Structure 1
Amino acid sequence: MAIETLSERQRAGFKARAENKGRVCKEGLWSWARHVNYFGYVLWRGGYCMVSCGWIGGVLMGLLQGWDLGTRAVAVQDEYCSAKYGEQWSQFKRDVPYRIVPGVY
């Protein structure tokens, strides 16, 4: 939960500053992956399931959530951000090549 919470707090702090109005957040965890908050989400959901169902359930939930976010949610968010930020989003994708997991995907 720490990754998801920290990333959302960093983005909220970035967006709260007037000079960042209409800009893409590339600070903190957001400089590691474009949807780093989803990585935190997958980890805490998998961990929660692991506590309640055992390690097999946790791994399966983590894989299911990762697959869903990687194949559906990221595409929807990328389309939305491309329309909203235009070239700024294209540059962000070049600067931050990883979608969810820093150094992996």
Structure 2
Amino acid sequence: MSRGNATSSALQQQAKTERIVRLEVQRRHAKGTLRVIDAMIRDVDDQLLYVAQFKKEWLQHRKELEAARQELLAEELTRRQQFEKHCLHTLHQLACGKNTTLRAKILQQNGGVTDS
């Protein structure tokens, strides 16, 4: 019986050793996988940082372009208002007959024909 006990004990010890070896292999594999995942996370973090910086610069550029566009629109609006004001003033002078020189030029351009 002691021989059976010894064999049984040896088999149990071998099973424990195999289990420990299996667990160690799994631990090493998990550790390697964790290193790969950590490297991937660092890469993604770097890419996100790059994208965030690019977005920040792009938004700043868009802001500058929008400011320039608004400035051009304001200048155009000012010129248009000045032109309309000048046209209204000229029409008013023509209607009132105060600017005979201007009226004469218009009549000359129209071949002496008036609208009235």
Q: What TM-score, normalized to structure 1?
A: 0.27
Task: Write 1 or 2 for the structure with the bigger share of helix.
Answer: 2
Bigger RCO of structures 1 and 2 (CA < 8 A, at least 6 apart): 1
Q: What TM-score, normalized to structure 2?
A: 0.24
Larger radius of gyration: 2
